[in-house]
Amino acid sequence: MIRKVVKSAQEAIVGVSDNMTFMLGGFGLSGIPENSISALRDSGVKNLTCISNNAGVDDFGLGLLLQTRQIKKMISSYVGENDLFEKLMLSGELEVDLIPQGTLAERCRAAGVGIPAFFTPAGYGTEVAEGKEVRWFNGKAHILEHAFDADFAFVKAWKGDEVGNLIFKGTARNFNPLMAMAGKITVAEVEELVPAGELDPNQIHTPGIFVQRIFQGVNYEKRIENRTVRSKS
């Protein structure tokens, strides 16, 4: 078996360079590859295209790379929690491609299973469809969408083993399994790294065949975007 363990996030991002396209798992701040994002920031790479459901918040997640102006383009579904993102988009400093969430997920999945393009009804009749081929199926208009092409995919899992098998926990699963399949090089950071053979095969969400590098992350903050509480009655 191929042992894919690297010692740190810094070692995991070896080979990244300016102008690359990255996929980054997570939904809101749930299941984001915190260590990998920090390593990318510290590396100084720039002019990045980032594919992620959202752009974190102003001072956390992908918001860190927006602060340092390392991202030139965001391909996202939702960006409502990041004031800096809004400022950069409205000023023209940041190129933004907003797409329906289901289309985002399917463009990741399609890349992972070798489907170059597909038709979807989502977005027809809106700005999303501008310039795209339209076909009709069963009396309904569909637009052509293409699979993503990412140099790296950075994902975060709850538990993984030395050969790259991954288990995600709860809602932190979100986009991570789809993106893990789709990167030319997939880097997985995990909360707990175990020897090969220790994970129950029936519980594995992402087989190690999709993962090229894996490391045990440290100092996870696991922030909550908007904490909502109520007083005791």
Q: What is the DSSP letter of 60?
A: B
- What number of other Cβ atoms are within 10 A of residue 40's Cβ? 27
Q: What is the pLDDT of residues 96-151, one digit of tens each?
A: 999 999 999 999 999 999 999 999 999 999 999 999 999 999 999 999 999 999 99
Burial of 222 (0-12, 13-18, 19+ CB in 10 A): exposed
Burial of 227 (0-12, 13-18, 19+ CB in 10 A): exposed
Give the closest residue to 164 by CA, choosing from 3, 41, 22.
3
- How would you classify the pairing of strands 134-137 and 140-146? antiparallel
- What number of other Cβ atoms are within 10 A of residue 116's Cβ? 9
Sole residue written with tokens 């996870």: 220
Domains parsed from the chain with CATH numbers: 9-120+147-216 (3.40.1080.10)
- What number of other Cβ atoms are within 10 A of residue 160's Cβ? 30
Q: What is the pLDDT of residues 49-80, one digit of tens each?
A: 999 999 988 889 999 999 999 999 999 998 77
pTM of the model: 0.93
Joined together, the tokens standing for residue 203 give 């519980």
Q: What is the pLDDT of residues 178-232, one digit of tens each?
A: 999 999 999 999 999 999 999 999 999 999 999 999 999 999 987 777 777 888 7
- What number of other Cβ atoms are within 10 A of residue 59's Cβ? 12
**H or E element at residue 75:** strand 71-76
